[in-house]
Amino acid sequence: MKILIIEDEPELRNVLQQSLEKELFIVETAKDYKSGLDKIISFDYDCILLDIMLPDGSGMDLLKDLKKEGKSDSVIIVSAKGSLDDKVAGLDLGADDYLSKPFHLAELHARIKSVLRRNNHNGQQLLQWNNVSLSPENRTVLVNSQSLSLNKKEFDLLYYFMINPNRLITKISIAEHVWGDYTDEADNLDFVYSQVKNLRKKLKNVNAEINIQAVYGMGYKMS
Ligand code: CA
């Protein structure tokens, strides 16, 4: 389970990170709006702890950005602004929970677990292949129950392979499914090759039992 902490106060950020790592979460951090935005666009998290007052923007806008990207990462707003208005606005924008500073770490842990439990119980369909499971809705991949971090394209690529197992998939159809309109402008399909290479490497590093085989001159086959 992967958690992103977006918080500008270094001391609080470190305390949160250490306490969550002790709970065996994989924890990443961002210290401002801009780096938070980079992270939420490039990766998927099981839960995001979101501060509202950031030096270069508002956490509320980050929440809007997240929803605009069509992401379903769970969000808990962790804010010093304890006003009811903020809480209502945050929940309206799709946050899963709201916690006012200061709070006890035990309280935060309980809230995180409750949010994760709730979102995993929403009866979503999981794609499974050997020791790999992929949730299209959460955009998460688990290998042997460990979260695997993929960027957007790698995820889309793996998703496409997993719904087409044991079938030859041409580079063109991969490009069209994963890159969409951009494909028309590309001179060649080398970007497919390099993205497949990255994905394979990430899968291999965690001993995923997925084999993506190149079929020379044609495309790829997953088995
Ligand atoms: Ca702050």
Single out the residue in 62, 87, 121 at which a domain terminates: 121
Single out the residue in 105, 121, 137 at which a domain terminates: 121
Same domain, 77 and 117: yes
Radius of gyration of the chain (CA): 19
Total count of domains within the chain: 2
CATH number of the domain within which 109 lies: 3.40.50.2300
Report whether 9 contacts 29 (CB < 8 A): no
pLDDT in tens, 29-72: 999 999 999 999 988 888 999 999 999 999 999 999 999 988 88
pLDDT in tens, 172-209: 888 877 776 555 556 677 888 899 999 999 999 999 99
Same domain, 38 and 105: yes
- Residue 67 CA to ligand 1 center (angstroms) comes to 21
- Helix (H) / strand (E) element for 63: namely helix 59-68
- Residue 49 CA to ligand 1 center (angstroms) comes to 12
Give residue 123's pLDDT: 44
Report whether 44 contacts 140 (CB < 8 A): yes
- Residue 36 CA to ligand 1 center (angstroms) comes to 13
Single out the residue in 88, 121, 154 at which a domain terminates: 121
- Residue 119 CA to ligand 1 center (angstroms) comes to 27
Same domain, 180 and 114: no
Pair type for strands 47-50 and 2-6: parallel
- Residue 30 CA to ligand 1 center (angstroms) comes to 12
Kindly report the pTM of this predicted structure.
Answer: 0.56
DSSP 116-147: HHHHHTS----EEETTEEEETTTTEEEETTEE
- Residue 73 CA to ligand 1 center (angstroms) comes to 21
Angle (CA) 202 203 206, round 5°: 90
- Residue 78 CA to ligand 1 center (angstroms) comes to 9
Same domain, 80 and 162: no
- Residue 153 CA to ligand 1 center (angstroms) comes to 32
Same domain, 16 and 96: yes
Nearest residue to 210 (alpha-carbon basis) of 220, 218, 200, 219: 200
- Residue 148 CA to ligand 1 center (angstroms) comes to 29
- Residue 32 CA to ligand 1 center (angstroms) comes to 9
Q: Range of 208's domain?
A: 127-222
pLDDT in tens, 104-161: 999 999 899 888 877 754 545 688 899 999 987 788 999 998 999 999 889 989 988 9
Same domain, 147 and 204: yes
Crossing angle for the helix pair 10-22 and 105-120, to the nearest 10 degrees = 60
Same domain, 72 and 132: no
- Residue 50 CA to ligand 1 center (angstroms) comes to 9
- Residue 21 CA to ligand 1 center (angstroms) comes to 21
- Residue 54 CA to ligand 1 center (angstroms) comes to 5
CB contact set of 60 (below 8 Å; sequence gap of 6+): 52, 86, 89, 90, 93
- Residue 114 CA to ligand 1 center (angstroms) comes to 24
Same domain, 95 and 31: yes
Same domain, 93 and 169: no
CATH number of the domain within which 177 lies: 1.10.10.10
Same domain, 102 and 11: yes
- Residue 17 CA to ligand 1 center (angstroms) comes to 16
Same domain, 40 and 137: no
Same domain, 22 and 98: yes
